Amino acid sequence: MGSPLCGSQMAEAEPGGRCGAGGGLALLNARALDVTFEVGDDYDVIETIGTGAYGVVSSARRRDTGEGQQVAIKKIPNAFDVVTNAKRTLRELKILKHFKHDNIIGIKDILKPTVPYGDYVVLDLMESDLHQIIHSSQPLTLEHVRYFLYQLLRGLKYIHSANVLHRDLKPSNLLVNENCELKIGDFGMARGLGADPRHAKAFLTEYVATRWYRAPELLLSLHRYTRAIDMWSVGCIFAEMLGRRQLFPGRNYIHQLQLIMAVLGTPPPAVMGAIGAERVRAYIQSLPPRPAVPWEALFGDADAEALALLARMLRFDPRDRVGVGEALRHPFLAKYHDPEDEPECVPAFDFAFERRALTKEDIKAAIVAEIEDFHARRDGIRRHISLAPTNGVSGGVNGAGPMGDSNGAPNGPAWPCADVDMVSPGPDGPMESALQVKAEPGAPAAPKRDGAISDDTKAALKAALLKSAMRNKSKGERVGWGGLSWLG
């Protein structure tokens, strides 16, 4: 879909002064935050737009683009001080370097580490996230819901095809721009599918997913996890879009179970028998049996096909939950579904680094190596572009390579996960994506769905985003930027 990124929720900081150049460096002194940005000659820092648990974000303008492309630059001070945070940084950096998909956030640039100022990651600067949209006062039409859900599932299909579980899908991690384009962000909690069974208990007991979007098998310690945990989260998000409120806003662990059972009824016998915690099983068995509540009773006159799909997503037994491929083929999404334009990721992501005992110094060295690799690959692409002929070089369309060949599989085209797609912009502005010049075999072009959702629908969302942004800015509440978990 070729859209820019949009941002996770962030508390807005007091804007800093406009940037100035000194000694060839763009510096920003955010007085309220006492933060200095040193980002080299490529960017002019504009203002501080937010703070988070792991750093500070500023908007900036790229100097070497004809139109002064605006971006978000995140400073990660003391990036290696805490082992858990450093490992989360390494995990997400490796995953996002491995992925290349229109509905997943991508890293535009990583500035090489500087001392003592910190590390900087460059992302697209965008308007909002799905949480802000859902809980605004602006209309959210069924077409908005359909389009957002389709893009979420399209991105999730790619993620799952790489044997990666996101594990923290929620509206604030789904980044949206004014054209209704959506990208999945925050891979800090991601893990590999089919990981070493010895680590299964740790997987289930560690904090995974925000409670309101957490699958029952994680709450009930079923000792088995699959892609279905993400599909449960998608169902909760889908319901939240339809109802404009959280479906299961549990105050604590017990309340979360109570809310789920109030809608889905008592867990079926197969689930009860698989519960790993005896006390949890005893608690549920002590409750009177409850029937499931019809979805129509909860969502009134909602679209029947939408509720039919929702019912397939939100089931107690993960084995009964709809998979991402089947969900994409559901009649509710027929308007957008195109099996030739829903790529998979090849090869699968390797989580071997997670199984090694790493010291803080090991993680630091690994992160630095990832940054160096990012630059080496990008520089290699630039050299390739400078030597390549300009005629007839294309990434192809719908799985076709530059010579028209395709490695598309019956269930959707599979193509090598790209390492980086950023190239040096030309004198008249940014160049096209490097996917068009790298000519990866079978690399799909961005889906041509700009006309699938009406201009009126887009205009309504754009107005809502602009109004929300102005209101938030005036109140000093939240702004949109980029979407990496380790960026705050």
Q: What is the pLDDT of residue 146?
A: 98
pLDDT tens digits for range 406-419: 333 333 333 334 43
Residue 115 scores a pLDDT above 60: no
Least confident range of 78-82, 101-105, 278-282, 302-306? 78-82
- The structural domains of the chain, ordered by start, are 137-346 (1.10.510.10)
- For residue 399, the model assigns a pLDDT of 34
pLDDT of amino acid 418? 42
Q: Is the dihedral of CA 396, 347, 417, 105 positive or negative?
A: positive
Give binding residues for ATP as ranges.
Answer: 75
> Model-level pTM?
0.73
Choice among 40-44, 459-463, 475-479 with the minimum mean pLDDT: 475-479
As annotated, the active-site residues are 168
Q: What pLDDT score was predicted for residue 114?
A: 59
Instruction: Output the known binding site.
Output: 75
pLDDT at 131: 94
Highest-confidence segment of 104-113, 138-147, 409-418, 422-431? 138-147
Can you list the pairs that 212-217 forms with residues at least 24 positions away whose Cβ atoms lie under 8 Å? 212/170, 212/236, 212/246, 212/247, 212/248, 212/249, 212/250, 212/256, 213/168, 213/169, 213/170, 213/237, 214/256, 215/318, 216/257, 216/260, 216/267, 216/271, 216/316, 216/318, 217/318
User: Is-contact 414 345, C-beta < 8 A?
Assistant: yes
54-58, 246-250, 326-330, 402-406: the lowest-pLDDT one: 402-406
* 368 band by pLDDT with thresholds 50, 70 and 90: confident
Specify the pLDDT at position 453. Answer: 61
Q: Residue 426's pLDDT band (boundaries 50, 70, 90)?
A: very low
Three-state SS string across 280-306, please?
A: HHHHHHCCCCCCCCCHHHHHCCCCHHH
Segment among 39-48, 371-380, 478-487 with least mean pLDDT = 478-487
pLDDT surpassing 60 at residue 441 = no
Confidence of residue 398 (pLDDT cuts 50, 70, 90): very low
φ/ψ of residue 63, rounded to 5: -75, -35
Please check the confidence at residue 336 and state whether its pLDDT lies above 70: yes
- Mean pLDDT along residues 130-144: 93
Contact 13, 485 (CB under 8 A): no
Q: Which of 44, 27, 45 is nearest to 36 (CA)?
A: 27
